[in-house]
Chain A
Amino acid sequence: MQMSTDTDVNWQSEQTDETIDWRDRLHEGFVLRVYEPALIAWNDRRTQTGLVIVVLYLCMALVDLFGLWRDASTSQAPRMLGAFQNWSYPLGTTQSGVDVLALIIDSTPFILQMVLAGGVWATGVAVIVGTISGYKGGLTDSVITAISDFFMSIPGLPLVIVLGITLEPESPLVLGVILTINYWAGLGRSIRSQVLSIRNESYVEASRAMGTNTVRIIRKDILPNLMPYVLVNFVFAARYTIFAAVALYFLGVLPYTGQNWGITLNYAYNQGALFGLEAIHWLLAPIIAIVGLACGLILLSQGMDRIFNPRVRTRLTGESESVESTPEHTTEIR
């Protein structure tokens, strides 16, 4: 019964004699997943700027990893040099004669790892929890919702402080996870509500009617439509991680391990940078570093939703536009 139609329906086509080998598939995959998204991203000024900024930070991390700039240490330079006065120390030096630029660069890999860990953990857990509870519904949904309600009701900052003191995390990855320990709950809730509406779309029902398994439906039918939202929230989570980390370092709640923009801020503050112009460069350098990274991430995310919009994709790759391009206008008259 399964194969009965093979004899009835003529599957021959005049047009497609060529076979599709792995080379074609590779090419098609490249065009769909790399070339077209890159083209769309580069066509948007916001994404362009965001990309440049983020790449700049990655370069800073590389500079530190390959030792292209001196490591920060005390008495390596004259004390309390202002910014842009001595080009060996472009951002000036601290009270104890440490190069401020070296401080900033030294901290970059740590911060980037922490931000990545925080973003991936928060959005990853939220996406898994949100899609499963939204798509499955019923008892699964009730249990997951109850758990995330519980997490949402715990006050975040005190929990992070307590965890920070008891665990004394030194690895940036662990630290990132701790900082966003209950960030996923709220995000998971809003993803769940998005899934609930997508789940009722006809094409999901059609996939269910074909017997497609749940994982594939979530992966192919639901997630692509959520991606813009997920990406924007990934960036928000990342930004939250930086701000939280800096704030807690500044307050001195987290253990001082190596260099960190928050610690730099703390030292500058303790040296009275807020009350005089003498140490202003010491205070401003980490602030600009923090704000710049947050800005770059947000710009990047704003352009990201376009990558997942098939209409933008077809327009930019120069394909024919929809036949139904005339919108049916309605007018409100009162």
Chain B
Amino acid sequence: MSSDTLTSQGSDERQPDPILEITDTNVTYTDGESYVLEDASVSIHRDEILGIVGESGSGKSMFASAILDAVPDPGVLSGQLIYNRRDGTTVDILGLSDEQLRAFRWEEIAMVFQGAMHSFNPTMKIKTHFTETLQSHDRSVGEGMSFARELLESLYLEPERVLNAYPHELSGGMQQRALIALSMVLNPEVLIMDEPTAALDLLMQRSILSLLNDLQEEYDLTIVFITHDLPLVAGIADRMAIIYAFEFVEIGPRDAIIANAAHPYTRALLQATPNINSPLEAMQSIEGQGPAPANVPSGCRFHPRCPVATDECESVEPTLDAHDANNHRVACHHVERAREELTISTDEEGAFSATERTTQTTTDAESLLELSDLQVHFEASQGVIEQFIGEPDVVKAVDGVSLSIEAQDLVCLLGESGCGKTTLGKAMIGLQEPTGGSITFRGESLDEHDDARAALQIIHQDPSSALNPNRRIVDILSEPLLHTHPNASITERRRRITSLLERIGMTPADAYIERYPHQLSGGEKQRVVLSRALLMDPDAVLADEAISAVDVSLRIEIMDLLLELQEEFETSYLFISHDLSNARYITEHAGGRIAVMYLGEIVEIGSAQRLLTDPRHPYTEVLRWATPDLGLDTDADDEPPVREIDVPDPIDPPTGCRFHTRCPVARETCVETSPELRDCEDGDGAVACFREEPDHQYWESDPLDGASEHPE
């Protein structure tokens, strides 16, 4: 947080050279009544990375569509969009004919969409996508393809393999990178990326971001990066813009936004984002939620949620004015008060101050759930002939996991997607039949225990598909009560449901119980899902990425609710997450443990504090690296500390230690032998790495290709 980083920013002193000038641009629906983008006035500088941050439904995607004059019907776009070419000519985007617009898009401004899997045609090879794009823009295919190969290579992909593959043969991260290459194949000046990494793992997100940073420098690109994830974009952006309720509320250089944010919403967002550097008690969610386009509040749109709002904010709409040097513009009446009263602590020293509850060390009591050497293997389906010839392809989703969960415990499974977290969790609550090993519940086998079914519940990732669209909230919540209290009268059930809804903040409860799931917001749906699981009075609940589908500003709120209800209902959680900062927040509050999984095995387990301050397994360190933080010294330029970005194919996992193909410190021994999960000698938890044993032959063997010779 030193001030010299602010002044040393060269880009601010340089004369800004806007490539895109957007003035008073509006997008309206229903005959100009509701605005989904209002008075957007931004200029995007040449060769910069502009990060645009906003909650879902705040109009940020609409901004991207507006730049390309591609607002979906019946939306109406008005305003002025000027594009400045490098040679000095200018283009009025709204004045282009359809044919000119078609050429303009992709050649001058290209766009990368959120779901790569939906952007590729599944019946066409990746190569065809490239050649078709080149042909339709009258470019030479030969030259274009060699440029495409170059691009793919710089994105850590094998060009020949990727080009000859069908989309489904690539993993999500590879598809997304291929899509970035596709969008750049015509060498555009501007790349607009709309949540390009939202569906990916953190490690892949961070890797793609650092690649983007390289690409931007190499090909002189201007990148507009749209995301809901503030810390993510903070790592690479030169300037940032915050959008709230269809309006820009703050625009400025990254350092000014992070260190000296002026708008209360930005400050609240910084505070609400779970991250690994701030002390726990500093993280607070923002009350309420963003408005729908039909009922935008009068005056300052943030005033209903703003802690420093006054009467003036209710009536007078603030304009986006410059408040400091370096073009830092804010739309707020009370910048000074916001800065004074809303403090943001990113103080790393205070990060691990106090945990709310102490870690339970009840080893004498029998554990609630005990897994020993649990295996879940899936056989890939085969034709009749293959069944007689070779061995079937087996995916070892969970391979030899031993874990015990006590009553009122919290264990968080952490790892990249496809590493078996969900399979392990479902096996643990009896929803997935294990193929080997054993699970005991309260000392008895899980299958034979009578109460086990009701005592083990699940909270799904996507609250929309976890609620039957055809049943009202009261019917959905009556279901668990019919199981737990079969003799309760309907009045009694209603009473319980309404009081629980009031308890979780859904008031007036009488109005909510009559609703159907589609009438609730995402956060409300997740609360109903949570209530349904807890009304079963469970002993353990599997929360499968329970907050990933919820808006960033609500995540802390939902996690707090989970923690509060854990105490009231005396339950244990098995919390699955791919995000270390979320995992840290919930485990540290509950005094639980984080178990890091990699390709079906637990590689490290321990308290959140130990994992963050003293990660033992190289994979944990990688995950630690992948978690974005808000520090100003964050440098996205550094290479990811792995030798391979992509997770190996789980059908044919690596021999020995499964991480050896990517591990930065792997040696010959790791290829042959697999390390056991051993208790740490000087710290809590356990870790499966040879580096824990000072006299292991690992230290004598040679490092693998690309691995570091002298780690640390």
Give the B-binding residues of A (Cβ under 8 A): 1-2, 4-5, 8-16, 19-20, 25, 201-203, 205-212, 220-221, 224-225, 308, 310-311, 313-314, 319-326, 328-331, 333-334
Give the distance in Å from the alpha carbon of A5 to the alpha carbon of B570 in the complex.
8
Give the A-binding residues of B (Cβ under 8 A): 36, 56-57, 61-62, 65, 68, 70-72, 75, 105-106, 111, 113-114, 133, 136, 194, 289, 292-294, 429, 431, 451, 453-454, 456-458, 460-462, 465-471, 475, 479-480, 483-484, 490-491, 494-496, 498-500, 502-503, 508-510, 514-522, 524, 529, 532-533, 536-537, 539, 568-570
Contact yes or no, A225 B470, CB < 8 A: yes
Chain B residues positioned under 8 Å from A207 (CB to CB): 479
Partner of B519, one of A221, A320, A326: A320
- The residue in A9, A206, A221, A310 that gathers the most chain B C-beta atoms within 10 A of its C-beta is A206
Known contacts A13-B509, A210-B483: does B521 contact A19 (CB below 8 Å)? no
Contact yes or no, B468 A329, CB < 8 A: no
Contact yes or no, A19 B491, CB < 8 A: yes
Contact yes or no, B468 A203, CB < 8 A: yes
19 contacts between A and B (CB under 8 A): A1-B539, A2-B484, A4-B537, A13-B495, A15-B498, A206-B466, A210-B457, A210-B483, A210-B536, A211-B483, A310-B469, A319-B519, A324-B522, A326-B36, A326-B57, A326-B293, A328-B61, A329-B71, A330-B113
Give the distance in Å from the alpha carbon of A218 to the alpha carbon of B294 in the complex.
39
Give the distance in Å from the alpha carbon of A4 to the alpha carbon of B455 in the complex.
13
Give the distance in Å from the alpha carbon of A180 to the alpha carbon of B431 in the complex.
40
Contact yes or no, A202 B465, CB < 8 A: yes
Chain B residues positioned under 8 Å from A11 (CB to CB): 495-496, 499-500
Give the distance in Å from the alpha carbon of A324 to the alpha carbon of B70 in the complex.
22
Chain B residues positioned under 8 Å from A331 (CB to CB): 65, 68, 70-72
Chain B residues positioned under 8 Å from A208 (CB to CB): 431
Known contacts A20-B491, A205-B431, A209-B429: does B61 contact A9 (CB below 8 Å)? no
Count how many pairs of residues, one from A and one from B, have CB atoms less than 8 Å apart in the complex: 162
Contact yes or no, B294 A202, CB < 8 A: no
Known contacts A25-B490, A203-B467, A311-B518: does B136 contact A5 (CB below 8 Å)? no
- Minimum CB–CB distance for A14 against chain B, Å: 8
- Minimum CB–CB distance for A131 against chain B, Å: 15
Chain B residues positioned under 8 Å from A203 (CB to CB): 465-468
Give the distance in Å from the alpha carbon of A16 to the alpha carbon of B509 in the complex.
9
Contact yes or no, B518 A310, CB < 8 A: yes
Partner of A205, one of B456, B458, B516: B458
Give the distance in Å from the alpha carbon of A12 to the alpha carbon of B500 in the complex.
9
User: Closest residue to A12 on the B side, CB-wise?
Assistant: B499
Partner of B495, one of A16, A319, A326: A16
User: Closest residue to B75 on the A side, CB-wise?
Assistant: A329
Give the distance in Å from the alpha carbon of A5 to the alpha carbon of B481 in the complex.
13
Chain A residues positioned under 8 Å from B61 (CB to CB): 328-330
Chain B residues positioned under 8 Å from A333 (CB to CB): 68, 70, 105-106, 111
Contact yes or no, A328 B518, CB < 8 A: no
Chain A residues positioned under 8 Å from B499 (CB to CB): 10-13, 16
Contact yes or no, A209 B457, CB < 8 A: yes
Chain B residues positioned under 8 Å from A326 (CB to CB): 36, 57, 292-293
Give the distance in Å from the alpha carbon of A224 to the alpha carbon of B111 in the complex.
41
User: Closest residue to B468 on the A side, CB-wise?
Assistant: A203
Known contacts A15-B509, A209-B429: does B136 contact A321 (CB below 8 Å)? no
Partner of A210, one of B454, B516, B520, B570: B454
Partner of A314, one of B500, B503, B516: B516
Give the distance in Å from the alpha carbon of A210 to the alpha carbon of B479 in the complex.
8
- Minimum CB–CB distance for B516 against chain A, Å: 4
Contact yes or no, B570 A4, CB < 8 A: yes
Contact yes or no, A13 B537, CB < 8 A: no
Question: Which 6 pairs, one residue from A and one from B, show the smallest C-beta to C-beta distance?
Answer: A13-B499, A202-B460, A224-B470, A202-B466, A211-B453, A310-B516
Chain A residues positioned under 8 Å from B62 (CB to CB): 329
Contact yes or no, B490 A20, CB < 8 A: yes
Known contacts A225-B469, A325-B292, A329-B62: does B479 contact A209 (CB below 8 Å)? no
Known: A8-B569, A15-B498. 7 other contacts (CB 8 A): A16-B498, A203-B467, A220-B479, A224-B471, A308-B470, A323-B289, A329-B65
Contact yes or no, A206 B520, CB < 8 A: no
Partner of A206, one of B460, B475, B502, B508: B460
